[in-house]
Every structure is written in structure tokens, then in C-alpha cells.
Structure 1
Amino acid sequence: MIRKERVARLAEELRRRGLDAVYIGPSTDLEYISGLDTHPDERVRGLMVAKDGRCFAMTPLLYREEMVKAFGDVPFYAEWDDHEGFTGAFRRGCEHLGIVGGKIAFNDGVRAVDMLAVRDTMPLEMVNGFDILTGQRSRKDDEELEIMRESSRIVDNVVAKLQKFIKPGMKERDVAKKIAEFFEEDGVTQMSFSPIVASGPNGSMPHYSGGGRVIEENDIMILDLGGRWKSYCSDTTRTFFTGTPTQEMRDIYEIVRKAQAAGEAAVQPGATGQDVDRAARQVIIDAGYGKYFFNRVGHGVGVAVHEGPYMIEGNTVPLEPGNVFSVEPGIYIPGKFGVRIENLVAVRKDGTGEALNHFTRDITICGE
């Protein structure tokens, strides 16, 4: 059902920005407002929210039952059939809200071709609304935080199972397939993203997407995974070993472990995303590996696995209670191996950080 309190806060944001309405297409924004987990296609559907909090739902007849079940008692459904196209229904909805000719934002769930079709059939001023829910979504309430704690507990459980499961001789893709099975055992049927299983030299590519390498004795591997529980994502990374790490591996692992801990410790009252990035990054720079860490330290997590706020140089906005984000420094040495450790951290009401992941960050050998 439409979350009325979220719509009310969105309407307040529209008034603050001087907008008459926002149209939200299939996206995590729409899921946040309504709980409807859907995907864009050529049939236009979504939700228009006006600055006074009134709404209309766009729905092709093909999806009407699904939309009504998800949205409930929305005052007006702008329905359309395949043979007529959607623009007439869109205009009828705008007329119902009295926003024809108004200043309307469109979120990133709307195709450009559909926006152009609307522009050609009715007068209005279109603006970019990709970030219109960013601030609201980044401040999780107590209910959302509790869901994310449980989501993180589940992924920690999956990581523990992987430690016992992984053996030399398996292919990376065998491990990736098992990750989905382990999530299903805990009632999670949708991944936050395609899991990363990067062994040996493949670990030097932070977002490695292969799967054919055979895991070897005394190997090192990065495991980056997450699942969606009640619409909210988990996201964690651990680096495992299948035998005895070399001294170089141990040394680099310890640098990354300290960097990750420093990033978490930087979450204090008044801290910014830049502060968290710098705290973790400085540990790696001081150890002489700065050039091998070339991405931001973290990103917000919620209904989407990547959302605000971002732990990155240049983000000088103070963190707020309810923010949830990753702290995931790494060192990636081309052609050799990589190490990454990642926890999600929530900002408490007093401004300090609460780690949502609790699987050990110490050196972990598979099978032990």
C-alpha cells in the first residue's frame, strides 16, 4: 500500500523545491513509496504525487490488478489500453490533480522517449527529479533500521556457511550459485546484486564478473554479496583463504582490516562522508599502497544497494541519524590479488556508528 507518511514528506519536499508534482516510474523510489517491486518496460506505469499530497496512478490495463493491489485506495487511476497509448491517460491524471502546465519532476524510472511523448502532447515544465527522494530515503526510521539489522544478520549467516563450504577445486561460479541457495535457506529469494567471487589474480578487479577460475590450494578470494529482505538490501565483503596466506597477503590484509576499522571509527557526531573516506584511505596511503585503492570508501544502502549518502572525497554534508552505508576499503594489486573488507554502518541518534555486520574481520581460512 502507499505509505502515506512517506508521501506527506515527499509533498513537503516538492513545496520546498517549488515543484507542482513528481512522477515516479518503476524504480526503487516507487518501491520505497508503495512497496511495489517492479521493473521498467515499454508500458508506462507509475505514480504522480502533487505538492498537496494528492496522487494518481498510471496503469496500463494489463497491470491494473497488480497496481491496485499494491497501491490501494489511490483517488484516481489513469488507465490506458495498448491500442490507445498512454499520453491521453497521463493528461487525464494531470487534469485530475490540476497540474497541467505545471512544473513537474520525473525520476530516473521514466524513459526519455516517454517524457518526450508527454512533452509533445501537453504543456508542462519538465525537471530532473532523480534525487527528489534521496534525502528522505537516506534517513532510515526505526522500522527500516530493524529490517536492515535482520538483513545484515542473514548475510552474515551466509558468509559463515561459505567459510565451511568453499574448498580448492571448486570454480568461482560454483560458489556464486551456492550463495543464492544459502540465502534461500534463510528466506531470501532476491539478491541485492550479482555476487562477486574473485579468486587469486581475479581479486585485483574490484567488480570482477567472471566465474571460470578454479579455486586453488593456498588461494585468496574476495566474496562480495548481499540479499534483499523485506525490500531492504544487505551488502558485505570478506576476503577468505583456502590455506596458508603468504606474508605479503597477511600484511596487506592487516592494512585493509585497520583501514576498515578506521573508517567505522570515524563515524562520530559532525562527521561527513569525506571524513570517513579520508580516515580509511589514510591508513592505506601511510602503508604505501595508496595507488592500489582507487575508488570511494562507501555508499549508502537501503531499498537500493547503491544510494545516498556516499563516503567519498568532496562529500562535506554531515552524516545524519538513520544513514546506513558501507565502509569497504580495499587494496588491488594487478595480476596478483586483492583484499576488501566491508561492513554496513548505521548512524545512531547520538551520531556514532553501529556496525550491522558482525562476521569476524580477522584472517579466515575456509574449512576451519
Structure 2
Amino acid sequence: MSVTTPPAPFTAEDYRARMDRAAAEAADAGLAGILVAPGPDLVHLTGYQPTATTERLTVLVLAAGREPVLVVPTLEAPDAEQAPGAAALTVRDWTDGRDPYAVTAPLLDAGTGARFGVSDNTWALHLLGLQKALPATSYVSLTEALPMLRAVKDARELERIAAAGAAADEAYREILTVRFEGRRETEVAADLAAALMRFGHSQVDFTVVGSGPNGANPHHEAGERVIERGDMVVLDFGGLKHGYGSDTTRTVHVGEPTDEERRVHDLVREAQQAGFEAVRPGVACQEVDRAARKVITDAGYGAYFIHRTGHGIGVTTHEPPYMIEGEERPIVPGMCFSVEPGVYLPGRFGVRIEDIVTATEDGGGLRFNNTPREMAIVE
């Protein structure tokens, strides 16, 4: 098993810089501020992840020119005050029986028509409570208002994503040594999950094992189907290591494949390479999708490539930017995202190949997954 030194933890200064940047971006977007509930945005901005997300209001209030304030229930204040970014903000608590929205409202510069960004996973209960306390305000989701809030990673974040990708690669190398034929998809999925944990993941988010016709469903959940000789098997797996995501896909074959299966696999590999080669700073995200999709379409399989080519990754597995037609936002160095074309033949088999990549300052792309993309033959 490979052993790596854990990366240095983020500091209060790191979190302060993130909060300042978020507040400035909100002001540039015409927002009076942003409200961040427990979830990935709060972890990214403060390092705080409540042990329990309940009906009690917890919210980070950010606005340009104002001190960041984290509103928490009194019983959770001790934990909030120990969060990695706590030194860069003020923690304000409220006790049970008191109106938390009345506590929060004075923290908002809520003039008539003031508009605030709200993290996507904010409970409706809390948003409606704020609207009732401040009826002249309006709200917009952060994905809509600030889609690039977490998209561009700094060097220390890239280090974590690289470590997660390397651990996923090790898990794949290990899974090639186990037996597939005669075992259930769930058994192979359990092997994958165990391998991810052995190689340093703190959390396994998904282990897709799509054998034979199940591989034609891109998000097939491993089931009780017994894997047979002659099956193509899609393996898509990932989770969190050091708080950042891994996500990789390889497609293997049990025994010798047919000529058609080899041809489709080679086609997807060519499309994945074309998508990767399109990754350059300044290029629109949609160009990655166009490059990969063109290869598959030109070969006559366009109708069987049924999803976008990629998604961003960071503290969550799926986040902006998205590599899809219509996304004209330019790629920026430090953006991390998947390149994962696929071909799915209903009732027969599927093929997908996926790497996490980033755009680099020197003008190209860098892969965080480096296992062979050629078809592997398993037993």
C-alpha cells in the first residue's frame, strides 16, 4: 500500500481569503451578500461541518466590507468556535425559544429590494423564515448567482485532488486482481469500496459496477446480477480523501471481447483523449464536450452518448463547471473536472472512460488519473 504524507491543514488565513473573495464576487454580481447553510459551501469557506444538520438555523453571513458572522444554535457554538476558520469570523449564537431569524436579520444590509445569494442546500424552512423577517428582500441560489465560487482550486486544493485521484488509481489496480466471473456486482462493488478506504479515502460516495446490459445505464447501482464470462463491466467509483473528491471510470471485460466490443471501447478511448486534448485555459467548457462528442458522432454512435462530457469536482463530486454544449464560460487554470464520454447500447453493454483533469498555467491539461485506458481483461 502506498503511504503519503497528509497535506498541511488549511489555515484561518486561507478561510479568510476565501470568505473575502466570495463577498467581493457577490458584490460584483449585484448581491447585497450571501447566506451559506451547512453543506459543501460552508465547509469550503470556513472548514465548519456541523455534526448534525437539523431544523435549527445555522448560517454564515457574508457581505463586502462587513465582518463575516456565523450564526449557530447555542448548543453547537463550542464546536463552531473550534472550526478551522473560526478565527477569521464572529460566531453569534441563539438559544432555543428565541427567533433565529430575528437574530440574523440585523446582520443583513437589507434595504428595499436587497438580493442575497443562498447556498443551494438551504432548508426551505430557513429561507422562508428569513423572507418573513425581511419581506422586502429576494434570494437567488449560489449555483445561479456565483457558479464559479468553488471552481478554481489553489495549489493546496490541487494537492488534495491529486492525492484522491492517485488513491482511486491504486484501488483500480487492485480490483483488476480480483475475480469477476461468478460473483455479484455488489461483491465487486464492496471490493472497490474497501480498496478506496485502504488507500486513504475517508468516505466512499459511489461504486458503480455495471455488468453486461447493466453497463448501458450510466448510473446503474450495483445489484445482484451475477457477472458472466463475456460481460463488459463499467467500473465508476470515488469518494473523499483529505476532504476532496475522486471520480474515475474504467471499463473492463471478463474474458476475451468480441470485435464490436473492442471497436466501441477503442472509440470511447479516442473520444476521451480528444476531450482531454481540448482542455486549455481560455477555451470554452463546451469545446471539451464538442471534441469528445464529435469522435463518437462521426463513428455513428452519437445517439448512444447520452450525458454531458464532464462535471467539476472538489469538496463535492459534482459541481460547476460542466463540460456541456452551451457552457461558454472559459476554462481557467485550477479548474478541476471530469472528462468522461461513453457509449451505451441498450440491453447489450456500455463503455465509459473517465479521468479528473485540470487546466494548467502553461496552457494544457493535466490528468489526475493515470491508469491504463486500454481495455483490461479480467477473470
Q: Same fold judged by TM-score > 0.5?
A: yes
Instruction: State how far apart, in whole Å, the 1-side matches of 2:135 and 2:211 are.
Output: 55
Matches within 5 A, 1:15-94: 15-38=27-50, 40-70=53-83, 71-73=85-87, 75-91=89-105, 94=107
Per the alignment, do residues 100 and 69 of structure 1 end up closer, same or farther by CA in structure 2, a change over 3 Å counting? farther
Partner of residue 141 from structure 1, selected from 149, 154, 165: 154
Task: Extract unaligned runs of 5+ from structure 2.
Answer: 1-10
Tell me the residue number matched to 1:320. Answer: 332
Tell me the residue number matched to 1:169. Answer: 182
Tell me the residue number matched to 2:255. Answer: 243
Tell me the residue number matched to 1:358. Answer: 370
| TM-score normalised by length of structure 2 | 0.90
Other structure's SS at 2:150 match = helix
Other structure's SS at 1:332 match = strand
Instruction: State how far apart, in whole Å, the 2-side matches of 1:269 and 1:26 are.
Output: 32
The answer on whether the counterparts of 1:7 and 1:53 sit within 8 Å (CA) in structure 2 is no
Instruction: State how far apart, in whole Å, the 1-side matches of 2:118 and 2:321 are.
Output: 21
Matches within 5 A, 1:319-338: 319-338=331-350
Identical pairs, percent: 37
Other structure's SS at 1:134 match = coil
C-alpha RMSD of the superposition: 1.9
Task: Extract unaligned runs of 5+ from structure 1.
Answer: none
Per the alignment, do residues 76 and 4 of structure 1 end up closer, same or farther by CA in structure 2, a change over 3 Å counting? closer
Deviations 1:28-87 (A, max 9, x none): 111111122356432211211121151111111232222111142355333223333422
Name which of structure 1's ranges 138-147 and 327-336 shifts more when overlaid on structure 2.
138-147
Name which of structure 1's ranges 198-207 and 124-133 shifts more when overlaid on structure 2.
124-133
Tell me the residue number matched to 1:179. Answer: 192
2:87 maps to amino acid: D
Deviations 1:102-160 (A, max 9, x none): 44322213112211112212355122042355324111111111111111000000011
Tell me the residue number matched to 1:116. Answer: 128
1:43 maps to amino acid: R
Q: List, as ranges, runs of 4+ consecutive aligned residues in structure 1 with deviation greater than 6 Å.
A: none
The answer on whether the counterparts of 1:278 and 1:313 sit within 8 Å (CA) in structure 2 is yes
Tell me the residue number matched to 1:105. Answer: 117
Name which of structure 1's ranges 36-45 and 249-258 shifts more when overlaid on structure 2.
36-45
1:59 maps to amino acid: V
Instruction: State how far apart, in whole Å, the 2-side matches of 1:363 and 1:201 are.
Output: 18
Tell me the residue number matched to 1:13. Answer: 25
Per the alignment, do residues 148 and 161 of structure 1 end up closer, same or farther by CA in structure 2, a change over 3 Å counting? same
| TM-score normalised by length of structure 1 | 0.93
Deviations 1:82-105 (A, max 9, x none): 33342232235x1xx655764432
Instruction: State how far apart, in whole Å, the 1-side matches of 2:229 and 2:99 are.
Output: 60
Other structure's SS at 1:194 match = strand
The answer on whether the counterparts of 1:259 and 1:279 sit within 8 Å (CA) in structure 2 is yes
Q: Quote the offset at 1:358 in angstroms.
A: 0.3
Per the alignment, do residues 19 and 354 of structure 1 end up closer, same or farther by CA in structure 2, a change over 3 Å counting? same
Is it true that 1:343 corresponds to 2:364 in the alignment?
no
